[in-house]
Amino acid sequence: MSTFRYSVGPWNVHSGADSYGPAVRDEIPFEEKIVRFKELGFDGIQFHDDDAVPDMNNMTEKQIINAAKDVKALLDKNGLEAEFVAPRLWMDPHTIDGGFTSNSKEDREFAMWRAYRSIDIANALGAKNIVLWLAREGTLCYESKSPVENTRRLLDAVNGMLAYDPKIRIMIETKPNEPVDRSACPTLGHCMAISYASGDPSRVGGLLESAHAMLAGLDPASEIGFALAMGKLWSVHLNDQNGMKFDQDKSFGVENLRTAFNQIKVLKENGYGSRGEFIGLDVKVMRTEKQEGSYKHLENSLRIAKALEEKAARFDYAFQKKCVEKRDYEALEMYVVELLMGLK
Residue 131 binds which entry of ligand GLO, Mg ion, none, CB below 5-8 Å type-dependent = ligand GLO
Find the catalytic residue in 49, 51, 120, 249. 51
| Closer of 131 and 260 to ligand GLO (Cβ) | 131
Letter for the amino acid at 101? T
When binding is defined by CB under 5 A, the residue of 208, 282, 283, 294 that contacts Mg ion is 282
CB of 86 to ligand GLO, least distance (A): 3
Question: Do the Cβ atoms of 163 and 199 come closer than 8 Å?
Answer: yes
213-242 footprint of Mg ion as x/- string (CB under 5 A): ------------------------x-----
| Closer of 12 and 195 to ligand GLO (Cβ) | 12
Residue 297 binds which entry of Mg ion, ligand GLO, none, CB below 5-8 Å type-dependent = none
Q: Which of residues 243-272 bind ligand GLO (CB under 6 A)?
A: 247
From residue 340, give the alpha-carbon distance in Å to each of 138, 157, 268, 272: 39, 44, 17, 22
Residue 120 binds ligand GLO, judged by CB under 6 A: no
Residues in CB range of 229: below 8 A, 6 or more apart: none
Backbone angles phi, psi at 233, to 5 degrees: -100, 105
Q: Which of residues 160-219 bind Mg ion (CB under 5 A)?
A: 209
Question: Do the Cβ atoms of 304 and 279 come closer than 8 Å?
Answer: no
Q: Which of residues 197-226 bind ligand GLO (CB under 6 A)?
A: 209
48 is catalytic: yes
Residue 279 binds ligand GLO, judged by CB under 6 A: no
3-state secondary structure of 251: coil
Report how far residue 177's alpha carbon sits from residue 110's, in angstroms, rounded to the nearest whole number. Answer: 23
Q: Render 177-242 in DSSP notation, one character per residue.
A: SSSSSEESS-SHHHHHHHHHHSS-GGGEEEEEEHHHHHHTT--HHHHHHHHHHTT-EEEEEE-B-S
The helix or strand, by DSSP H or E, that contains position 45, with its residue range, turns out to be strand 44-48
C-alpha closest to that of 207 among 217, 195, 198, 197: 195
Residue 137 binds ligand GLO, judged by CB under 6 A: no
CB of 239 to ligand GLO, least distance (A): 8
CB of 215 to ligand GLO, least distance (A): 9
Residues that bind ligand GLO (CB under 6 A): 86, 131, 133, 173, 175, 209, 237, 247, 282
Residues that bind Mg ion (CB under 5 A): 209, 237, 282
Residues annotated as catalytic (active site), given as ranges = 48, 51
